[in-house]
A and B are shown apart, each in its own frame.
Chain A
Amino acid sequence: MTKAASKETPLIVESLWDRLARFPWWLVAIILVLIGSAYFVATNESYQASLLFIVQGISITVQTTLYAYALALVIGLIMGLGRVSRNVIFSNIARFYVEVVRGIPMLVLIFYIAFVAVVDFAGFFGVAGRDVPMNVRAIIALAVTYGAFLAEIFRAGIQSIDRGQMEAARSLGMSYTKAMRYVILPQAIRNVLPALGNDFVAMLKDSSLVSVLAVRDITQVARLHAGSTFRFREAYTVLAVLYLSMTLVLSALVQWLERRLHAGRK
């Protein structure tokens, strides 16, 4: 189609100004920031020390994000199915969960889950609250929070599938559950993959909130470093650049995935 169109459209000579205006200057700026940071780290001992110290938190940040995201996917899928369910109890539980979580600031929710909900829940199973490690509490807190966002993504994905798909599946004798599993969800999940990817990036950033639980992720480690050396500028610059680098790479991955999905859907 584009070929035919370009044949008929006369060749328009682009002015230099147009080309300059279209150039991704923002990307150049970001790359300069990254290069500048690398230069500081390479030449300045304080920056070097900050980086070496803060990098110790990377594995906690990555682990917390991965585990919490995996758990959030499970919660989100179940609650998303609840949101579209015709079962009154199930759908009300799902709606309650989503509304409560979305109505409370994430930071407050993290405190509440880590210091109240998890402790009560552990007590219910006869485990002392203090025996639950903070890392685990942080993962649960993030997962419960993000589960609500992912539930809404799954709900939107399921509702985007034409009603005729469910009808066709049911007319062939499939139960609601089988129709969901084999017909609706495979299509719905494919549709929401980019949105799920975006939320993964968002969660990586929000994982910094678990530093309030004294979990030694990069944010917490950076705070400790800054506090003990008074090198605030170095510590927080390194911290910000670390997050930026990770999210840039992940965002690029998500975009690549999105393009591939579009290409596959001719």
Chain B
Amino acid sequence: MPVASKPIIEIKSLHKTFGKDVHALRGVDLLVERGKVVVIVGPSGSGKSTLLRCINHLEVETHGEVWVDGKRLNEKNKDIDEIRAEIGMVFQLFNLFPHLTVLENIMLAQRVVRGRGKAEAEEVAKKQLERVGISEKAHSFPAQLSGGQQQRVAIARALAMNPKIMLFDEPTSALDPEMIKEVLDVMLDLAKDGMTMIVVTHEMGFARVAADQVIFMDQGLVVEQGTPQQIFNNPTQDRTKLFLSQILQH
């Protein structure tokens, strides 16, 4: 299949500046193959989240190109909503809709974006809730759930759109330690099912187990990339070694 070999995400010399002073990305190139799991690590302020948010145009690039599934993102394209519908995103602070129940959270975009009927949307929502293991919370409101449960609902909400790509922006950083595993387990299952995933995280254990490719970023640049073995066991750059030694001391 020649189509499958074409990268689903292609980023060419991406620059992003905020105002005059902040240069968050300074020329990032990235290729992501279909079905691969890419984990981005690096110190805070290195541009990881900004890079992720450029992929679905929550941030608009200052310079450079972002291609998703053969389509170039740019300021003027009208089909940005259609492209975004194919890219699920999970946020650090979950961002569930507090005025809707869990089930309604998962049904809303299916109905108003995908145009699915109520019965179909509900069926899909229930299936996804089962997948993330909290079917019993379908009629609760987000505020009644723990952080880990909220994040799993957020994942279910994104999956209900049948996205081709899933982006995770530090999905476990806001969670109490005992809830991190339940979210990572869902993500591991997803990786096993062959979902294309780009994950910004500080969970090195997850990166080791799930990643096909690890990218180390610092100061708006990709410093080093490779398999988890290469990055964690034999890093070649001093900056990478320093970062890993600092976080693995614990």
Contacts and interface: CB of A to CB of B under 8 A. Distances in A.
A173 B58 contact: no
B93 to A, nearest CB: 6
A22 interface: no
A227 interface: no
A255 interface: no
Contact of A171 (B56, B96, B108, B112): B56
Contacts of B81: 170, 173-175
A162 B94 CA distance: 12
Contacts of A186: 99
A182 B95 contact: no
Interface string A151-180: 000000000001011011111111100100
Interface in B152-193: 154, 157-158, 161
B91 A182 contact: no
A168 B93 CA distance: 10
A190 interface: yes
Given A164-B91, A164-B93, A172 B98 contact: no
A163 to B, nearest CB: 9
Given A170-B84, A174-B113, A178-B113, A183 B97 contact: yes
B84 A173 contact: yes
Nearest to B108: A182
B112 A178 contact: yes
Interface in A174-201: 174-175, 178, 182-183, 186-187, 190
Please classify the interface of chain A as helix (H, G, I), strand (E, B), loop, or mixed, using the class held by over half of its residues. helix
A251 to B, nearest CB: 26
A266 interface: yes
A230 B143 CA distance: 63
A190 B97 CA distance: 14
B12 to A, nearest CB: 23
Interface residues of B, number: 27
Nearest to A162: B95
A171 B114 CA distance: 13
Contacts, number: 62
Nearest to A168: B95
Contact of B87 (A164, A171, A183, A187): A171
Contacts of A174: 81, 109, 112-113
Given A167-B58, A182-B108, A266-B143, A173 B95 contact: no
B89 interface: yes
B85 interface: yes
Contacts of A172: 84-85, 88, 108-109, 113, 157-158, 161
Contact of A173 (B85, B91, B96, B154): B85
Contacts of B84: 170-173
Nearest to A161: B98
Contacts of B143: 266
A164 B95 contact: yes
Contacts of A183: 97, 108
Contacts of A190: 99
Contacts of A178: 112-113
B109 A167 contact: no
Given A171-B56, A172-B84, A165 B112 contact: no
A169 B84 CA distance: 10
B89 A182 contact: no
A175 B113 CA distance: 9
7 contacts: A167-B58, A168-B95, A169-B97, A171-B87, A173-B84, A174-B81, A174-B112
Given A165-B97, A171-B88, 20 more contacts: A162-B95, A164-B93, A168-B91, A168-B154, A169-B97, A169-B109, A171-B58, A171-B84, A171-B89, A172-B85, A172-B158, A173-B81, A173-B85, A173-B113, A173-B114, A173-B161, A175-B81, A182-B112, A187-B98, A266-B143
Query: 8 closest pairs, A vs B, by CB?
Result: A173-B85, A168-B95, A172-B109, A171-B89, A164-B95, A173-B113, A173-B84, A173-B81
